[in-house]
Amino acid sequence: MVVSNGFLIIFVSLDQTPLIMASYTLDPDDPRHNDNLGKMVCFHGRYSLGDKHNYKSHDYNGWEEMKSHIVKNEDVLVILPLYLYDHSGITMNTTGFSCPWDSGQVGWIFATKKDIREWYGLQRINKPYIDKVREILLEEVKMYDRYLTGEHEYEELDD
């Protein structure tokens, strides 16, 4: 059974014991302020996206030059492009969108070798960990996209 009063939803069992409480907030926390493995370097004329950084888009002759600079100077092991679709709201992914007029690349998300070693407590990083890091970065982008699109909620499990 579901009990709702607008912004708070409580899922209860048949014996009326609360199982999960989910609430909707109009002022969610930016997930980029959490403890993230990836760093998001984004550029947009109207939106402040991603993490704070000191990169300047005009210092580079395109995305590939910027990527090469980031990989070299940050000692990056995994880097993925970030694309934004801006039409009646914004949404972000790592694969791009089919609309050339309202979408395009806005930056990169990456993980450094140092951060990966610290995250996992590793000396050497092997392929399975590289695959895990890629998955984490993709999930960070999905979480950020949910924040950008307003799909955010808070859930609490009762013991």
| Two tokens, residue 102 | 């309202």
Q: Is 144:40 a contact under the CB 8 Å cutoff? A: yes
Delimit the domains of the chain by residue range.
28-150
Extended beta strands in the chain, E state: 2-4, 8-12, 18-23, 39-42, 76-86, 90-93, 103-112, 154-157
Is the pLDDT higher at 93 or at 5?
A: 93
Q: pLDDT tens digits for 99-128? A: 888 999 999 999 999 999 999 999 999 999
Task: Take residue 120 and report the two structure tokens written for it.
Answer: 């996992």
Q: Are 37 and 114 in contact (CB under 8 A)?
A: no
Region class of 69: left (phi > 0), else alpha (psi between -120 and 50), else beta: alpha
Q: What is the pLDDT of residue 30?
A: 86
Residue 53 phi, psi dihedral angles, 5° rounding: -155, 170
Percent of the chain at pLDDT exceeding 90: 67
Q: Taking the model in full, what pTM does it have?
A: 0.79
pLDDT at 17: 62
pLDDT of residue 52: 96
Q: Quick check: 11 pLDDT over 70? A: no
Span 77-86, pLDDT tens digits: 999 999 999 9
Q: What is the pLDDT of residues 127-151, one digit of tens each?
A: 999 999 999 999 999 999 999 988 8
Residue 158 has pLDDT above 70, yes or no: no
* Res. 62: pLDDT tops 80: yes
Of 45, 23, 32, 50, the residue nearest 107 (C-alpha): 50
145: tokens are 């996209």
pLDDT band per the 50, 70, 90 thresholds, residue 2 = very low
Distance between CA 107 and CA 47 in Å, rounded? 13
Q: Is the dihedral of CA 143, 118, 106, 138 positive or negative?
A: negative
Assess contact for 2 and 9: CB atoms under 8 A.
yes
Write down the mean pLDDT value for the chain: 85
For 21-48, the pLDDT digits (tens) are 555 556 667 889 989 999 999 999 999 9
